[in-house]
Amino acid sequence: MAAHPRYSLQDISDRLEIDDLLSRYTFAIDNKDFDGLDDVFTPDATIDYTTSGGIKGVYPEVKAWLAKALRMFPTTQHLLGNKRVTIEGDTATSRTYFYNPMGAPKEGGGLQLFYVGGYYNDRLVRTPDGWRIADRFEETAWMDGALPANLETPT
């Protein structure tokens, strides 16, 4: 039987900070607080949302795209599940399950629901301001639901 890892106090602190960082991402996105993402990503982070129909680029470009793209969805809820985090000094990698229901306005009222599930694959770095995501690849595992026909897809 494999031995369970023993974590130092620094390991525990790092894991809690990374967990908080990942949660800050979801709250910033769902509250449409895109400036809050400045405390999540490094200024030169590369972010790839192409598997879900989004863009790939550096953080400032992707931040502007998110603000435009998510206007289509007044209601979103990014939920995080299981995660695997590996820390080596001042760098870390993580793979985090996500489930993301989103609601877009429907003709005649109500919401057209759209669901996405997958994994956030991140490379993180410790900065003077704490842990930040330096690279993110969103790996979409599945999608369900259709976007309303009257919505414009941002580019």
In a domain, 53, yes or no: yes
112 located within any domain: yes
pLDDT band at 46 (very low <50, low <70, confident <90, very high): very high
Q: Give the chain's domain count.
A: 1
Residue 150: inside a domain:
no
In-domain check, residue 2: no
In a domain, 130, yes or no: yes
Report how far residue 122's alpha carbon sits from residue 86's, in angstroms, rounded to the nearest whole number.
Answer: 11
Whether residue 153 is predicted with pLDDT greater than 60 in this model: the reply is no
Q: Which H or E run contains 68?
A: helix 59-69
Determine the structural domain holding residue 118 and report its residue range.
Answer: 9-144
Is 28 part of any domain? Answer: yes
Q: pLDDT band at 4, cuts 50/70/90?
A: confident
Check residues 47 and 4 and name the one with the higher pLDDT.
47
pLDDT digits (tens, 9 = 90+) for 66-100: 999 999 899 999 999 999 999 999 999 999 999 99
Computed over its alpha carbons, how large is the radius of gyration of the chain?
17
Residue 17 lies in a domain: yes
pLDDT at residue 6, rounded to an integer: 86
Pairwise CA distance, residues 151 & 86, whole Å: 40
Q: Is the pLDDT of residue 26 over 60?
A: yes
Considering the entire predicted model, what is its pTM? 0.91
Query: For residue 127, is it left (φ>0), alpha (ψ between -120 and 50) or beta?
Result: beta
Higher pLDDT, 104 or 45: 45
For residue 13, tell me if it sits in a domain: yes
CATH code of the domain containing 45? 3.10.450.50
